[in-house]
């Protein structure tokens, strides 16, 4: 569960994988560069915790910093294990120039109302130098989620593991943007006797890729309106550029 582990910010210079990305080529071939903001600015536009539920709180806040990152991709989803790809939010290194993450926690889940219980989730956005670079990452992410159909994921908060098994991975549109929804059955040792699902939605909108995920008991997909609000808030940052 991404919201229970520390997200990592990877600087391109710190990686030794030596992957030559296509994002730089996309930027060079673009006549008019797309507006860009820093990761610190992106974080200001993320949704408040209350958008996910009453009493929810924000923690584990990370961003790629106050300067733009290199558009050269040095890591790809296919280079990561399923556990690392789905556990950590890499806020730089995919060829994205900025990224921001907030994790959301439900400190007092009401199990008397099960299965209508959300344990928590994440929201994050990756900004690329061009729509083509964003599309390339989106396609690779979709392919990697498809390959990671069943695996055990470490759950450091409970010093145990959770087993994730894909129920469905479907393409859709959200607000006229290309998107996909992933639903995984989550077997948590810490919540024996309860069935939970990790639900993830990824949206490609312009030069950005948006992700919201949560863990709930009903396997309901991520709300389109929640994603739409996140996209609108981030897009508003570019009006002054």
CATH number, domain at 138?
3.40.1000.70
pTM: 0.86
Query: What burial class does residue 3 get, using C-beta atoms within 10 Å of its C-beta: 0-12 exposed, 13-18 middle, 19+ buried?
Result: buried
What residue spans of the chain are helical by DSSP H?
Answer: 23-28, 39-44, 82-87, 131-147, 224-235
**What percentage of the chain's residues is helix, strand, coil (to nearest 5)?**
30, 35, 35
| 94/226 Cα distance (integer angstroms) | 25
Residue 192, C-beta contacts closer than 8 angstroms, at least 6 positions apart = none
Cα→Cα distances 122→2, 51, 203, Å: 7, 12, 14
Which pLDDT does position 163 carry in this prediction?
Answer: 86
pLDDT average, residue stretch 39-59: 96
Residue 3: per-residue pLDDT:
33
223-240 pLDDT per residue, tens: 999 999 999 999 999 986
SS3 169: strand
**Which residues make beta-bridge pairs with 132?**
none
- Residue 199 pairs in a beta bridge with 183, 214
- Structure-model confidence comparison of residues 4 and 235, the more confident one: 235
- State the pLDDT confidence band at 31, using cuts at 50, 70 and 90: low
Share of the chain above pLDDT 90, in %: 68
Domain count, the chain: 1
Considering only CA atoms, which of 141, 216, 219, 227 is closest in space to residue 183?
219
Alpha helices in 22-130 (DSSP H): 23-28, 39-44, 82-87
149-206 per-position pLDDT tens digit: 998 876 555 556 778 999 999 999 999 999 999 999 988 777 778 899 999 999 999 9
Range of the domain at 168: 2-240
DSSP state of 2: G
Arithmetic mean of pLDDT over the chain: 85
| Dist CA 21 CA 18 (whole Å) | 9
């Amino acid at each position: 569960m991404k919201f229970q582990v520390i997200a990592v910010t990877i600087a391109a210079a710190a990686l030794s994988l030596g992957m030559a990305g296509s994002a730089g080529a996309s930027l060079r071939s673009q006549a008019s560069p797309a507006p860009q903001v820093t990761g610190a600015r992106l974080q200001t536009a993320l949704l408040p915790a209350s958008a996910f539920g009453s009493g929810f709180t924000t923690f584990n806040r990370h961003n790629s910093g106050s300067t733009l990152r290199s558009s050269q991709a040095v890591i790809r989803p296919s280079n990561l294990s399923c556990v690392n790809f789905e556990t950590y939010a890499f806020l730089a290194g995919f060829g994205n120039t900025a990224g921001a993450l907030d994790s959301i926690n439900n400190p007092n889940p009401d199990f008397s109302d099960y299965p209508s219980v959300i344990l928590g989730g994440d929201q994050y956005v990756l900004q690329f130098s061009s729509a083509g670079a964003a599309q390339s990452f989106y396609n690779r992410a979709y392919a990697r989620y498809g390959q990671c159909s069943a695996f055990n994921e470490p759950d450091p908060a409970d010093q145990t593991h959770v087993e994730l098994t894909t129920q469905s991975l479907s393409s859709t549109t959200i607000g006229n943007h290309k998107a996909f929804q992933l639903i995984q059955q989550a077997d948590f040792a810490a919540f024996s006797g309860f069935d939970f699902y990790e639900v993830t939605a990824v949206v490609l909108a312009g030069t950005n890729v948006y992700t919201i995920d949560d863990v709930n008991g009903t396997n309901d997909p991520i709300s389109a309106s929640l994603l739409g609000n996140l996209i609108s808030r981030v897009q508003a940052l570019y009006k002054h550029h």
